[in-house]
């Protein structure tokens, strides 16, 4: 994905949202407290974090309410149905992104870098949803929701936004991969996760 294929960000964002929704739907009742690749966070906490991040992207675009809980300090408790909790955030996110022009150059984001072109801003939102979908899926014994087709454009986004975010604890240090690593493994390792 690059400046000449700006419209493709909508497809990538939808795929990432669907991946997160599907991963959460696949969590069994006993698995909400399971550990995840996000050090010290349970499945519930990763869901809270991912939901909060989607809410923050929505708020940045719309000027609406920000997350009621700090996404980087999730409580581990969700009142009601976790999937419904996520659905509210993803639906609001989709509505917010629908108001953004394909070729907008200054889209507000909840990241320290400030406004970004639409393709990169939406890619950042998609990256967050997709990698946390992977975290939840791996933690609960589900297949990886990431495909090489998603990983390639997500890696382009990651290479442009992740380094400054490491200083804030948003991503762990990058890990090495072998020469035979596929696009998914390369992306995960760059984000500080060990490909399974």
Q: Is the pTM of this model over 0.75?
A: yes
Structure tokens at 125: 């939102």
pLDDT at 178: 84
- By mean pLDDT, which of 3-12, 46-55, 64-73, 98-107 is the weakest? 3-12
pLDDT at 180: 87
pLDDT digits (tens, 9 = 90+) for 120-176: 999 999 999 999 999 999 999 999 999 999 999 999 999 999 999 988 878 889 999
Domains annotated for the chain, with CATH where assigned, are 3-146 (1.20.120.450)
Write the secondary structure of the chain as one string of H (helix), E (strand) and C (coil).
CCHHHCCHHHHHHHHHHHHHHHHHHCCCCCCCCCECCCCCCEHHHHHHHHHHHHHHHHHHHHCCCCCCCCCCCCCCCCCCCHHHHHHHHHHHHHHHHHCCCCCCCCECCCCCCCCECHHHHHHHHHHHHHHHHHHHHHHCCCCCCCCHHHHHHHHHHHHHHHHHHHCCCCCCCCCCCCCCCCHHHHHHHHCCCCCC
């Amino acid at each position: 994905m690059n400046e000449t294929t700006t419209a493709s960000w909508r497809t990538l964002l939808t795929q990432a949202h669907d991946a997160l929704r599907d991963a959460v739907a696949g969590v069994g009742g006993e698995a909400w407290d399971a550990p995840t690749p996000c050090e010290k966070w349970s499945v519930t906490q990763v869901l809270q974090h991912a939901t909060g991040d989607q809410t923050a992207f929505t708020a940045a675009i719309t000027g609406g309410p920000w997350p009621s809980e700090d996404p980087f300090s999730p409580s581990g408790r969700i009142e009601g149905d976790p999937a419904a909790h996520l659905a509210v955030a993803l639906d609001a996110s989709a509505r917010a992104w629908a108001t953004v022009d394909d070729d907008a150059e200054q889209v507000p984001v909840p990241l320290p870098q400030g406004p970004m072109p639409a393709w990169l801003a939406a890619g950042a939102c998609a990256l967050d949803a997709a990698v946390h979908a992977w975290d939840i899926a791996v933690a609960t014994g589900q297949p990886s929701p990431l495909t090489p087709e998603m990983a390639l454009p997500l890696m382009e986004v990651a290479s442009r936004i992740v380094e400054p975010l490491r200083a804030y604890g948003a991503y762990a240090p990058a890990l090495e991969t072998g020469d035979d690593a596929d696009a998914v493994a390369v992306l995960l390792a760059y984000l500080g996760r060990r490909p399974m």
